[in-house]
Structure 1
Amino acid sequence: MAIRVLICDDDALIRESLKIILGMNEEIEIVGTAENGLKALEICSKNIVDIVLLDVRMPVMDGVKATKEIVGKTRAKVIILTTFDEDEYINEAVKNGASGYILKNNSPEKIIDTIKMVFKGNKVMEDKVFEKLKERMTSNQSKLDKGLFTDRELSIVESIAEGLSNKEIAAKLFISEGTVKNYITNILNKTGLSHRTQIAIYYLKGTNK
């Protein structure tokens, strides 16, 4: 079954170019295109959409707000695809539930690979974007206090930092995916963080000090 993708960008040329390029891949089906976040939300609400490629700066509803609405109200996963890598956009998009954040200057192959990875349940953030988000983490969030966690929670944190999905963590630790989700919820509550990507940064910065 093909991955159903919606392309959302206020630039018509970019929309149509992505539609043509991505549509050539037999594993991807382009559900439609949208010029703003509100239109994307409407399409996702009325159709089966697996992945939404969202620009950040758009009229009516930008990509950051659209991410929150789409993730909260539909089954679609969001990949932020933009030429902008400003810190505030990265941070807010991740907090709002974006599963991927890559730049538009990537090759079509990279974008397609990201779509496939996110569809399988992985989180994707290219290195330069990850570094931007890492820099924004406050010192109290980035200081790793191992005494705050149980041994199992530490194992979960380390696995997230390795880039493992919930399914992979479950297999590695011989527990269910539901149990992994419960542990992640506990970790988020203890640290005051809001997203698994922030957990990875929390761990990496804390262990590198």
Structure 2
Amino acid sequence: MKIKIIIADDNSFIREGMKIILSTYEECEILATVDDGKEAVDFCLANEVDVALLDVRMPNMNGVEATKLISEQTMAKPLILTTFDDDEYILDAVKNGAKGYLLKNTDPERIRDAIKSVHNGNTVMQDVVLDKIRANLQEAKAIEPESKIDRSMFTEREISIMEQIAKGLSNKEISKTLYISEGTIANYISTILSKTGLEHRTQIAIYYLTGKGK
């Protein structure tokens, strides 16, 4: 079964170029291309869309606002396509439910693979985007060194794991730091996600440092 995709970008060259490229892959079906976030939301509300590819900077409604509405009101999964100068939007897009964050200069095959992965319920973040998120989080941490979370919700171990995630550590690195197995860490992360209603570890990091969930 084909993955039903909508592409939202106010640059017609990028929008139509992406349509042509993705249409060459047998697993992709491009339902529509639109040039702003509101049109993307309206289309997702009226049609069965699997993945919404969203630019960040668009007129009428940007990709971050569209991500929030699409996540809350439809079954479509938002996947952000961005440029290097969109750093200010990254954290908000993740908090608003973006299932992936890719740079526009990514190879077409990787974009296709990201679409498939997001469609299958995974979260996709390129390393360069994760590095930007971590840098932004560390800046936030420098300004607000104390975590803003409600500590009464969590065990000390869960708080320790959230702290390590906020530092950008992988499960393997956390395992070495806290001397517990990666499997146990994964279980703790699942519990944290359940308690907070968050969806993935990047949101945990943001939540730990800002006290703000989705």
Contact 2:193 2:199 in 1 (8 A): no
User: Aligned runs of 1:16-165 on 2, under 5 Å?
Assistant: 16-137=16-137, 138-139=140-141, 140-141=146-147, 148-149=154-155, 161-162=170-171
1:76 Cα deviation from its structure 2 partner: 0.4
Other-structure match for 2:179:
none
TM-score by length of 1: 0.74
Q: Matched residues in 1 for 2:53 and 2:147: separation?
A: 30
Q: Matched residues in 1 for 2:22 and 2:56: separation?
A: 20
Total equivalences in the alignment: 184
Partner SS state of residue 17, structure 2? helix
Other-structure match for 1:197:
202
TM-score by length of 2: 0.73
Partner SS state of residue 44, structure 1? helix
Percent identity, please.
Answer: 46
1:116 Cα deviation from its structure 2 partner: 0.7
The alignment's C-alpha RMSD in Å is 3.4
Q: Matched residues in 1 for 2:124 and 2:106: separation?
A: 13
Code of the residue aligned with 1:105 in structure 2: it is N
Moved over 6 A (4+): 152-160
Partner SS state of residue 25, structure 2? coil
Other-structure match for 1:207:
none
Call closer, same or farther: CA 1:91–1:35 in 2, change over 3 Å: same
Partner SS state of residue 118, structure 1? helix
Extract unaligned runs of 5+ from structure 1.
164-171, 204-209
1:185 has 2:194 as partner:
yes
Extract unaligned runs of 5+ from structure 2.
173-182, 209-214
